[in-house]
């Protein structure tokens, strides 16, 4: 049966790198929760057959040869900019497809150009490590100081985008800092953003995280500084002046003792 041309054109975009153990369950959950959407896997040089498995399940697979999640997300924006709505979700099973209407509805009714699934870790081992939880708080604080108030969950990989946002965002990131850049783009453009809570689950057994907390955390913080210099340079100057002034005053007090 052909789709009604007057109905919204919706895509579910899944950037993947070595998610063979999870991708069948992820695809099945999306087919059940959002049957009207096209599911597209953006395979980022997987070596475990992720792309072949998805293709065997009847899903369109687009190969992204430049390594890194940022490259995969940028490919999603290039390929799907003509869709009425695109849902972005990781391929590891941590985000429930059953929550999709929370992210999709504000896009389709025109009240938001980007929606974010704010992660609420479930009470299961492996849902979110303490190190990552602490890192998320630090990154959020840096974003607030240097750029301004952004989404509560800057690093969520569960998002919805309107055609307007897909067509106008100018993304540059290559790695896991892509979510932070999306938040910066939203702040810079005054994008209508809606954040909704969603459960966050442990990864499906047999998959491993590709994020490295300290290496990627450093890259994310550098992205925030770069965005601040471009979007809010006066904040960087003010922060630098405050640090210098504080150092001078503390030095003077020590000398006076």
- 234, pLDDT greater than 60: yes
DSSP bridge pairs for 197? 118
Residue ranges covered by each domain of the chain: 10-232
Count Cβ atoms within 10 A of the Cβ of residue 220 and give its class: 0-12 exposed, 13-18 middle, 19 or more buried. Answer: buried
Return the closest-CA partner of residue 223 out of 161, 135, 146, 117. 146
Classified as helix, coil or strand, 102 is helix
* CATH 3.10.520.10 corresponds to the domain 10-232: no
Q: Distance between alpha carbon 131 and the CA centroid of its chain, in Å?
A: 19
The pLDDT assigned to 1 comes to: 39
**Beta strands per DSSP E along the chain:** 10-16, 38-43, 60-63, 85-88, 114-121, 159-162, 193-200
d(CA 151, CA 133) in angstroms, rounded, equals 15
The pLDDT assigned to 236 comes to: 61
User: Phi and psi for 148 in degrees, rounded to 5?
Assistant: 140, -175
Could you tell me which residue, 207 or 136, shows the higher pLDDT? 207
Q: What is the pLDDT of residues 66-115, one digit of tens each?
A: 999 999 999 999 999 999 999 999 999 999 999 999 999 999 999 999 99
DSSP 168-207: H------STTHHHHHHHHHHHHT--EEEEEEEE-PPPTT-
The arithmetic mean of pLDDT across residues 50-56, rounded, is: 98
The arithmetic mean of pLDDT across residues 164-182, rounded, is: 92
Residue 35's alpha-carbon distances to 7, 12, 39, 70, in angstroms, are: 13, 10, 9, 27
d(CA 79, CA 75) in angstroms, rounded, equals 6
- The predicted model scores a pTM of 0.83
The pLDDT assigned to 2 comes to: 45
The pLDDT assigned to 216 comes to: 74
Least confident of 47-61, 122-136, 176-190: 122-136
């Amino acid at each position: 049966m052909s789709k009604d041309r007057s109905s919204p054109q919706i895509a579910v975009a899944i950037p993947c790198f070595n998610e063979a153990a999870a991708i069948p369950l992820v695809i099945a959950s999306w087919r059940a929760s959002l049957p009207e959407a096209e599911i597209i896997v953006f395979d980022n040089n997987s070596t475990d057959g992720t792309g072949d498995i998805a293709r065997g399940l009847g899903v369109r697979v687009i190969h992204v040869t430049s390594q890194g999640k940022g490259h995969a997300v940028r490919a999603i924006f290039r390929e799907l900019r003509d869709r009425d709505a695109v849902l972005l979700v990781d391929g590891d099973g941590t985000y429930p497809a059953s929550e999709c209407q929370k992210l999709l509805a504000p896009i389709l009714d025109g009240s938001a150009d980007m929606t974010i699934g704010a992660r609420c870790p479930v009470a299961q081992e492996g849902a979110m490590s303490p190190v990552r939880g602490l890192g998320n708080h630090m990154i959020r604080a840096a974003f607030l100081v240097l750029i301004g108030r952004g989404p509560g969950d800057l690093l969520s990989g569960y998002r919805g985008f309107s055609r307007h946002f897909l067509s106008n965002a100018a993304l540059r990131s290559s790695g896991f800092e892509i979510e932070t850049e999306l938040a910066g783009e939203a702040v810079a453009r005054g994008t209508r953003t809606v954040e909704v809570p969603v459960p966050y689950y442990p990864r499906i057994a047999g998959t491993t995280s590709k994020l490295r907390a300290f290496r990627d955390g450093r890259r994310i913080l550098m992205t925030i500084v770069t965005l601040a210099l471009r979007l809010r340079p006066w904040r960087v100057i003010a922060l630098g002046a405050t640090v210098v002034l504080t150092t001078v005053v503390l030095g003077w007090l020590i000398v006076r003792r």
